[in-house]
């Protein structure tokens, strides 16, 4: 049951990249994550997606932060405290720094990417915890394709796409860097569909997602995401099926939207 937020983020990754006309500073999206336990979908965790401005000595960056935490009543069963964040150019969402810090049921892992876009490389730092509690780390230089991004930068980039131009059945591959490996994510546009959510009834773009060469996502049309069919294109609902079970992600609140 490791890497739960990874699964949710992969379910959110989608169609291509464009200039940032949608993601503002100060946006906050809050979700409830449910998991099938003994045949019943049960609320187990809260997922938050937040944006903020970070000023450096040379420029201002947009911080894209995703967190997941189990509700307290589940902490004794399987405690999750995950953090994913990407520091990107606010105009293009090009990533410069990525951090992943996960703690799940006693399992700990930290990943950091520092991008060098001119040399098409990423300086990777990985930390893991041994059984005796000590931390060991490894450093590596990873060659990447020009358009490769991390999970978080990819997730936010999809909301700047002209999805309204897609036809049902259209699909495309995209490259995401995960655990020092480039992963191909295939997205297929299914249809428009109106659904009821906690922030109202929304007309949405319905998208199906698959990961090439991996069984992390199971079944055909079992991993779906609904993005609002408006200028914000916020993810409001997702369904996922993985080797250890299935679940859903439902929006609870959305504040600080641009439109």
Dump the DSSP string for the chain: ---HHHHHHHHH--S-----SS--TT-EEEEEEEEEETTEEEEEEEEEEEEEEEE-SS-EEEEEEEEEEE-HHHHHHH-EEEEEEEEE-TTT--EEEEEEEEEETTEEEEEEEEEETTTTEEEEEEEEE-TTS-EEEEEEEEE--TT-B-HHHHHHHGGGS-GGG--TT-EEEEEEEETTEEEEEEEEEEEEEEEEETTEEEEEEEEEEEETT--SS-STT-SEEEEESSSS--EEEEEEEETTEEEEEEEEEEES---
30-52 in b/e form (b: 16+ CB < 10 A) is ebbbbbeeeeeeebbbebebbbe
68-115, pLDDT tens digit by residue? Answer: 999 999 999 889 999 999 999 999 999 999 999 999 988 999 999 999
Give me the chain's average pLDDT, please. Answer: 87
Query: In which band, very low, low, confident or very high, does the pLDDT at 60 lie, cut at 50, 70 and 90?
Result: very high
Cβ-contact 33, 249 below 8 angstroms: yes
What are the C-alpha distances in Å from 27 to residues 63, 64, 69?
11, 10, 19
Q: What percent of the chain has pLDDT over 70?
A: 89
Query: In which band, very low, low, confident or very high, does the pLDDT at 159 lie, cut at 50, 70 and 90?
Result: confident
d(CA 16, CA 38): 37
Q: What percent of the chain has pLDDT over 90?
A: 61
In a domain, 17, yes or no: yes
- Sorted by sequence, the CB contacts under 8 Å of residue 215 that are 6+ apart come out as 243
CATH number at residue 201: 2.40.360
In a domain, 238, yes or no: yes
Burial of 141 (0-12, 13-18, 19+ CB in 10 A): exposed
d(CA 72, CA 76): 8
Q: What's the distance, Cα to Cα, between the start and end of the chain in Å?
A: 37
Which of the residue ranges 128-132, 167-171, 213-217 has the most confident prediction, judged by mean pLDDT? 167-171
In a domain, 9, yes or no: yes
In a domain, 162, yes or no: yes
In a domain, 258, yes or no: no
In a domain, 259, yes or no: no
In a domain, 11, yes or no: yes
- In this prediction the pTM is 0.87
Number of domains in the chain: 1
Q: What is the mean pLDDT of residues 46-70?
A: 95
Q: Which domain holds residue 229?
A: 4-253
Q: Is residue 10's pLDDT more than 80?
A: no
- Range in 35-39, 113-117, 151-155 the model is least confident about: 35-39
Instruction: Please report the pLDDT score of residue 219 as a whole number.
Output: 53
């Amino acid at each position: 049951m490791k890497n739960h937020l990874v699964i949710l983020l992969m379910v959110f990754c989608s169609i291509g990249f464009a200039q940032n006309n949608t993601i503002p500073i100060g946006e906050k999206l809050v979700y409830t994550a449910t998991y099938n336990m003994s045949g019943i979908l049960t609320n187990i965790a809260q997922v938050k997606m937040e944006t903020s401005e970070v000023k450096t000595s040379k420029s201002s960056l947009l911080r894209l932060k995703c967190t997941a935490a189990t509700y307290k009543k589940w902490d004794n069963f399987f405690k999750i405290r995950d953090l994913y964040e990407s520091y990107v150019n606010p105009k293009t969402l090009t990533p410069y720094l990525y951090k992943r810090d996960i703690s799940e049921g006693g399992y700990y892992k930290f990943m950091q990417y520092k991008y060098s876009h001119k040399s098409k490389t990423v300086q990777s730092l990985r930390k893991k915890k041994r059984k005796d509690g000590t931390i060991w780390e490894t450093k590596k230089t990873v060659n990447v394709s020009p358009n490769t991004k991390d999970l978080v930068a990819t997730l936010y980039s999809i909301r700047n796409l002209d999805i309204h131009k897609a036809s049902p059945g259209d699909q495309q591959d995209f490259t995401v860097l995960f655990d020092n490996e480039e992963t191909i994510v295939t997205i297929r546009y299914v249809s428009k569909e109106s659904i009821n959510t906690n922030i109202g009834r929304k007309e949405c773009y319905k998208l199906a997602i698959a990961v090439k060469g991996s069984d992390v996502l199971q079944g055909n049309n079992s991993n779906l995401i609904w993005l609002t069919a408006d200028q914000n294109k916020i993810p409001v609902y997702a369904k996922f099926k993985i080797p250890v079970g299935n679940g859903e992600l439902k929006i609870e609140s959305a504040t600080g939207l641009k439109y």
